Structure 1
Amino acid sequence: MAKISINLATGSLQKEEIIVGIDLGTTNSLVAFIDPDKQPKVINDAGKGVLVPSVVHFGSAGDITVGNEAKNYLLTDPQNTIFSVKRLLGRSYHDIENYQEFFSYKVIDDNTESLVKIKVGDKFYTPIELSGMILKELKDRAEHALKTPVNRAVITVPAYFNDSQRQATRDAGKLAGLDVLRIVNEPTAASLAYGMGLDPEETKTIAVYDLGGGTFDVSILQIQNGIFEVLATNGDTFLGGDDFDRAILDYWIENNKLDRATLQQNRELAQELRLKAEEAKKSFSHQSIFNEKAGDIWCTIDKQTFEQLILPKVEQTIESCRKALADAKLDVGQIDEVVMVGGSTRTALIKKMVSEFFGRKVHDEVNPDEVVALGAAIQADVLAGNRSDILLLDVTPLSLGIETMGGLMDVIIPRNSKIPTKAGRQYTTSKDGQVNMKIAVYQGERDLIKENRKLAEFDLKGIPAMPAGFPKVDINFILNADGILKIQAIELRSGVKQEVEVKPAYGITDDLVEQMLMDSITHAKEDVAQRMLIEARTEGEQTVYTVEGFIKKHSTHLSENEIADTQEYVTKLKEALTQGDKDSVHKAIDELNEFTRPFAERLMDEAISTAMKGKSVE
């Protein structure tokens, strides 16, 4: 007997499972779908509003809240309330150290090159886990509003996101129980929402100016025969409306002669001032002066002062527009349309300056907060096979990647990437003096390579013997239109190079592809949990290796107590590696790093002063 699904929200027959479009934003996130009238529509679940604040709160009883309710805790419990997590996706501490004071929660600095972790109580979270919680909230809201399961999605990212940031977004989707069909550039989604590219006869060159809460990018797109091509992109993944808030905040700190150190300790007041700054910024769309109190502090600013404060940042975005045009080898007169995206583009000064730069009226008719999600829903509809008016190039059916430490699959070309395509990542050695690197290539959607299909394996030989972490090995995947994959590995310091070709895998049936995809959804949560434990253990093993090597090398410069105590911390970490969960491993790493940092810095200072003796500095 055939099963027929009925969508209770619309009363219509549900022929296909709904694929949603998700805009995972720095400040707010939202989800959209195509309604029975074939129109893209944002979801407003149970009157909570369309925008879901990208905020996660951890309660003392272990309860986790996301969105509107979590935002209320920004003032009352700031150290356990995480915001602007998109700024941390795929980033190392080194990338964000100058912005540490902006975050009211603890961002862990264990090693400036490794990806950041966030500490809440005794637990450690990665930006991927936190983004996964936001995506899970969006999935739950969509399912509640549409009265139907939602397992598949298109998620948008800034065009400026690099490979590790895109992969982190994909992992977050998987953790939320979503099969991420495609990661789409936000400018492409915004153009689709304006109906650009829907007419196969249309040829247009578009500039998309996207200024959100935490990221800015400008993209020059060419649309021809329904195909979107990004000609150039420029911007800054660390510039956005948050910076406008910060400019107002700095102005109030200066005007009220507030002590920054005291403010750093008084997190509640700091957050209250930050929220007042956001309020002031928004108020200038309908008034010219803002004058309110936060505690005993008068927060006063007028529109003219605000525009003077943000002018350098806005000029920075205009400079990015100039660079993007130069990279696309176009002049301003060749741009047919200018599309505004992101809540921060509501600022009058921005509209004025962008319009003046491009010499034309900008498109701001569609709500700038919703435009990307609406476009993502249209893209999802295309992937569902419901539209033939947009051409999708051939895509890879399954992800391609390589094996990394701990038997993990590191995706280099995600599934549903259009072909031909090229992508790469940089790797390094894990042991001192390592001269060979095994490169094993896999196809599949699971986090562990043993669950995926092996395509090829080869050795990059003759890497010059160097300390662990020093060699820089670029691994590039080049997939041509016939599905033939060429893998290149090159050690950049020495030029040692190796290439291998993998022929199309004709032995893989549609049923097997479908089975592999279904397995990836079914096992998503346990896969990601296992991946995170393996990554924590790998990091722990590397830390033990580094610290033991350091002690051996510098034992004459350390006291017996320092050596004995360090070994105690190392033993604790080794125990966590064999018995512990992810959090206990991270905790042991953190404690070892905290303990060894002071004398590592002391030895560094001694080495510098010895090297400088008898040398004059001019």
Structure 2
Amino acid sequence: MAKIGINIATGSLQKEEIIVGIDLGTTNSLIAIIHPETKQAVALKEHNTSSLVPSIVHFNENARLNDTVGQGNVTVGEAAKQYLITEPQNTIFSAKRLMGKSYNDIKNHSSFFTYKIINDNTESLVKVQVGNKFYSPIDLSSFILKELKQRAEHILKTPVNKAVVTVPAYFNDAQRQATRDAGKLAGLDVLRIVNEPTAASLAYGIGLSKEDHKTIAVYDLGGGTFDISILKISNGIFEVLSTNGDTYLGGDDLDNAIVKFWLQQLSINEDELKNDQMFSQAIRLKAEEAKKHLSFNEEFNGELHYSSPKGRGWEGALKISKSEFENLVQPFIEKTIICCKNALKDASLTTKDIEVIVMVGGSTRVPYVKKTISDFFGKEVNDSMNPEEVVALGAALQADILAGNNKEFLLLDITPLSLGIETRGGLMDILIPRNSKIPTKASRQYTTQVNGQSGIKISVYQGERDLVKDNRKLAEFNLTNIPGMPAGLPKVEISFLINADGILVVKAKELRSGVEQSID
């Protein structure tokens, strides 16, 4: 007898497997699917709740003391927000800003974080200390992904094991690999890593007819990252022409600007934030409230009533006008304009060539951001789609394409940063230039410098500077057991392969002897 499955949540026939789209954000994260009946991308949410899950992780006492993190010891999302002020040292926010970063990358911003980031004086990736335990940003992100997975399984009444996860277009190789690893820890098979602006363009362009030919700019200003991508949409093909951005620029920086403004007004030293985490978190949350309030009002008048367990307290008014706020954030928005100019230059286009500007990310709700971008491009911006959901919806559409359900659309993405190796004199020899279509492969031959040399050290870098010391080191390995030959005789072929996720695999082979080594 034949059996069929019916999903009682949607009332439709249950497919064997659902591939979800996930936007793992700095401030909020969410999960989306293609609805089996309407075939439309929808963000999943419980009845009468928000689709947004705050990217906040709280560890209770058991999690802080024990070696294992058990069920119920970690709280994620809305339920974790209440601990931001009462237990700032145990409540992690904006973990995405730490992805693929060393302490040296974020030391100038350390006062922003109210939890303990380990300074080990090395270039190794950062870790966060909570109680007796240490967590990497991969671990922290995996808790958020696990929460999204469980939320989807509860709503859909079916297991969820496969996902498309989005990342900022300007994420480097280490950050992309970290995102994939976080998915694996959460029990998800990450089928594809998709750039956030590309996903957003898919959500925007899916409604266009095949006859439409558009050149669009996707301006994506989130909680912690910024991307600008220029795309050409034609005959169902979404081709990324160029991308630019800053992986440490977002709404958090706008909040921080307000905090510094208030500290100056109140004659409070910034060191007070480091010494009193509860006060730091309380004033940061007030700044976020002010930012949102000023999107609809000319002035923010708030009060902060604060007393710490150590007996210190502070009570008073916090004020800021819309014009003051705009002056504070102008330098940050100007940075995004520079990125826009670079992206246009790389695509060999001018602002007049851009037909549509799609606004993505919660920080684009700020009127000053919209006006500045509109003035730069010389036309009104398109903010018709929910800027906080559009990336997840695009990820769900890409998941549908991977599942073979949608064969009408094709994504042609690019790598955001040049990739190369270190050569003599500390120079960067680029094998794959930035804005190359992916997947892609490039090879180049090198040789030895001294007689009888039996090995070559291969150092892989990502970046645009001529000297490797100014770029980011991704990996280093040794090709050994090269047979003894005169200098210049061995032929060492180094191959770079970037897959569809934008993740790099490097191979080195001595062609005369067949000795080879690879790393990914």
Residue 378 of structure 2: aligned partner? 359
Q: Contact 1:487–1:499 at 8 Å: present in 2 too?
A: no
Aligned to 1:323: 342
Q: How does 1:193-212 map to 2 (within 5 A)?
A: 193-196=203-206, 199-212=209-222
Check 1:165–1:3 CA distance in 2 against 1; reply closer, same or farther (3 A cut).
farther
Which segments of 5 or more consecutive residues in structure 2 lack a partner in the other structure? 64-72, 306-314, 414-436, 444-452, 459-477, 485-491
Work out the CA distance in 2 between the residues paired with 1:174 and 1:102.
29
Alpha-carbon contact 1:488-1:498 (below 8 Å) kept: no
Counterpart check, 1:132 vs 2:142: yes
State the Cα distance separating 1:212 from its structure 2 match. Answer: 0.3
Matches of 1:174 and 1:59, distance apart in 2? 24
Q: Does 1:117 align with 2:127?
A: yes
Which letter maps to 2:333?
V
2:110 to 100, 104, 109: 100
Q: Counterpart in 1 of 2:52?
A: 51
Instruction: Give distance in 1, aligned partners of 2:99 and 2:254.
Output: 21
Q: CA separation in 1, counterparts of 2:54 and 2:203?
A: 22
1:61 match: secondary structure:
helix
Q: Tell me the CA shift for residue 230 of structure 1.
A: 2.0
Quickly say closer, same or farther: Cα 1:89–1:497, change in 2 above 3 A. farther
1:38 shift after superposition: 0.6
Q: 1:326 to 1:59 in 2, by over 3 A?
A: same
Taking a change above 3 Å as real, the CA distance of residues 199 and 184 of structure 1, as seen in their structure-2 partners, is farther
- The residue correspondences of 1:181-580 to structure 2 (distance < 5 A) are 181-196=191-206, 199-295=209-305, 296-391=315-410, 420-422=439-441, 436=455, 459=480, 461=482, 476-478=495-497, 488-489=507-508
The alignment's C-alpha RMSD in Å is: 3.2
Kindly provide the CA deviation profile for residues 296-344 of structure 1, in whole angstroms up to 9, marking residues without a partner as x.
0321111110011111111111111111101111111111211000000
Whole-angstrom CA distance in 2 between matches of 1:172 and 1:387: 27
The residue type paired with residue 58 of structure 1 is F
Q: For the structure 1 residues 176 and 487, does the alpha-carbon distance in structure 2 shift closer, same or farther, using more than 3 Å as the test?
A: closer
User: SS of 2:61's equivalent?
Assistant: coil
CA spacing shift, 1:438–1:352, aligned 2, 3 Å: closer
- Which aligned runs of 4 or more in structure 1 are off by greater than 6 angstroms? 496-502
Give the whole-Å Cα distance in 2 for the aligned partners of 1:498 and 1:169.
Answer: 38
> Residue 385 of structure 1: CA displacement?
1.1
CA distance in 2 between partners of 1:353 and 1:190 (Å) = 21
The 5 Å alignment of 1:163-174 reads 163-174=173-184
Q: Pick closer, same or farther for the CA change 1:115–1:386 going to 2, 3 Å.
A: same
Letter of the 2:235 counterpart: N
User: How far did 1:97 drift?
Assistant: 1.1
- Larger strand proportion, structure 1 or 2? 2
Amino acid of the structure 1 residue aligned with 2:44: I
- 3-state SS in 1 of match to 2:205: coil
1:224-259, Cα deviation, whole Å (9 max, x unpaired): 332322221111111100000000000000000012
SS in 2 for 1:86: helix
User: Aligned pair in 2 of structure 1 residues 2, 310: CA closer, same or farther (>3 Å)?
Assistant: same
Q: Secondary structure at the match of 2:223?
A: coil
How many residues in Structure 1 have an aligned counterpart in Structure 2? 438
Gaps of 5+ in 1: 395-417, 425-433, 440-456, 464-472, 491-495, 503-618
**By how many angstroms is 1:5 displaced?**
1.8
Residue of structure 2 in register with 1:31 after alignment = 31
Q: Which of 136, 155, 158 is the equivalent residue of 1:145? A: 155
Quick check: which has more Rg, 1 or 2? 1
The alignment partner of 2:89 has SS state of helix
Structure-2-length-normalised TM-score: 0.78
| Contact kept in structure 2, 1:201 and 1:225, CA below 8 Å | yes
Cα separation, 2, equivalents of 1:117 and 1:474: 36
Preserved contact between residue 117 and residue 127 of structure 1 (Cα < 8 Å): yes
SS of the aligned residue for 1:273 comes to helix
Q: Distance in 1 between matches of 2:246 and 2:82?
A: 29
C-alpha change, 1:273 and 1:458, in structure 2 (3 Å) is: closer
Contact 2:30 2:53 in 1 (8 A): yes
| Cα distance between partner residues in 1 of 2:515 and 2:14 | 44
How big is the shift at 1:118? 0.7
Q: 1:29-54, CA deviations, whole angstroms, 9 ceiling, x for partnerless residues? A: 01111112111111112544211000
Q: Which residue of 2 aligns with 1:178?
A: 188
Q: 1:41 corresponds to which residue?
A: 42
Residue pair 1:187, 1:372 contacting (<8 A) in 2 also: yes
Rounded Cα–Cα distance in structure 2 between residues aligned with 1:486 and 1:11:
44
Structure with the largest fraction of helix: 1
Letter in 2 for 1:300: K
Q: Which residue is equivalent to 2:14?
A: 14
Q: Tell me, in whole angstroms, the C-alpha distance in 1 between the residues paired with 2:100 and 2:206.
A: 31
- Per-residue CA deviations over 1:431-488 (Å, capped at 9, x if unaligned) read xxx963699xxxxxxxxxxxxxxxxx9747499xxxxxxxxx996434799xxx9965
Partner secondary structure for residue 410 of structure 2:
coil
Q: Distance in 1 between matches of 2:499 and 2:54?
A: 41
* Cα separation, 2, equivalents of 1:479 and 1:26: 26
Q: Distance in 2 between matches of 1:474 and 1:83?
A: 44
Cα distance in 2, alignment partners of residues 459 and 200 from structure 1 = 53
The match for 1:402 is none
How far apart are the structure 2 equivalents of 1:461 and 1:92?
Answer: 34
Q: What SS is found at the alignment partner of 1:98?
A: helix
- Partner amino acid, structure 2, of 1:18: I
Alignment of 1:57-72 (within 5 A): 57-62=58-63, 63-72=73-82
Percent identical pairs in the alignment equals 61
Could you tell me how far apart the structure 2 residues matched to 1:119 and 1:142 are? 30
Choose the corresponding residue for 2:172, options 162, 175, 181: 162
Aligned 8 A contact 2:304 2:318 in 1 = yes
Q: CA deviation at 1:17?
A: 1.4
Structure with higher RCO (Cα < 8 A, 6+ apart): 2
Q: What letter corresponds to residue 312 of structure 1 in structure 2?
A: P
Q: CA deviation digits over 1:249-277, x for unaligned, max 9? A: 00000000012223322111110000000
Letter in 2 for 1:277: A
Distance of aligned partners of 1:166 and 1:80 in 2 relative to their CA distance in 1, 3 Å threshold = same
**Alpha-carbon spacing, 1:486–1:345, altered in 2? closer, same or farther (3 Å):** closer
**Distance change in 2, residues 1:347/1:438 (3 Å):** closer
**Contact 1:34–1:40 at 8 Å: present in 2 too?**
yes
CA separation in 1, counterparts of 2:442 and 2:139? 25
Aligned to 2:310: none
CA contact (8 A) 1:48 1:68 kept: no
The amino acid that maps onto 2:33 is F
